[in-house]
Homo-oligomer: A and B are copies of this chain.
Amino acid sequence: MAFLTEACKLKRVDRATPLCDGSRPENSGEHSWHLALYAMVLGEHAPDGVDLNRVIRMLLIHDLVEIDAGDAPIYGNHDIAAKEAEELAAAHRIFGMLPGDQGADFLTLWLEFEAAQTPDAKFAKSLDRFQPPNQNLASGGGSWLDYDVDYDTVATRVGAKIANGAPSLWDWIAPKIRAFFAA
């Protein structure tokens, strides 16, 4: 229960992406919910062999480390190695609040997500990259405007990772992003 009360803090961690209506920044708690819903709805676009129930669980816990480490905006320039070390320490502290076996299971699942090597983790990572562009499009630009990026930057930093685990989702959204920047 201490872990579940600690998790409540994720609702106070703001992200760079706005809500679809642009009214305020999205927080990492509601982002995690929305991603799990993306997995439920878009499961048919997952490659064969992906276990959607594991993907949903990964997405539910993937951002908990931000309680300590904060959100690292995808277009920001941060020290990647330092951020990874900070997130790993956070994972040990936060998942360490759970009973032994359960804490180890959660940590293992989070490490699998971060490594992005298994089919489940690749698909989960793709959804994590696919949701923000949708909210940027819906809200009129969002973090693209804040970070003054262009189509090529989006394609490189986000598109490649979406295509890695869910090529059909990138094929679907790429023309919409191109049209946004061409306007």
Q: Please give the residue numbers on chain A whose beta carbons come within 8 Å of chain B beta carbons, in ascending order.
A: 1, 3-5, 7-12, 19-21, 23, 26-27, 29-30, 32-34, 36-38, 40-42, 53, 56-57, 60-61, 98, 102, 134-135, 138, 172
Contact = CB atoms under 8 A, between A and B. Distances in A.
A27 B9 CA distance: 13
Contacts of A38: 4
B8 A12 contact: no
Contacts of A36: 33, 36, 56, 60
B41 A3 contact: yes
Contact of A134 (B1, B26, B41): B1
Contacts of A41: 3-4, 98, 102
18 contacts: A1-B134, A1-B172, A4-B42, A5-B134, A8-B21, A10-B30, A11-B26, A11-B34, A12-B21, A29-B29, A29-B30, A33-B36, A37-B61, A40-B61, A41-B98, A53-B53, A56-B57, A56-B60
Q: Is the interface of A mostly helix, strand, loop or mixed?
A: helix
B8 A34 contact: yes
A41 B60 CA distance: 11
A10 B29 CA distance: 12
Contacts of A37: 4, 7, 60-61
Contact of A12 (B3, B23, B34, B56): B23
Please provide the 9 A-B residue pairs with the shortest distance between their CB atoms, ordered closest to farther. Answer: A33-B33, A8-B20, A29-B30, A53-B53, A30-B30, A11-B30, A32-B33, A29-B33, A36-B60
Contacts of A4: 34, 37-38, 41-42, 134
Contacts of A57: 40, 56
Nearest to A105: B40
Contacts of A61: 37, 40
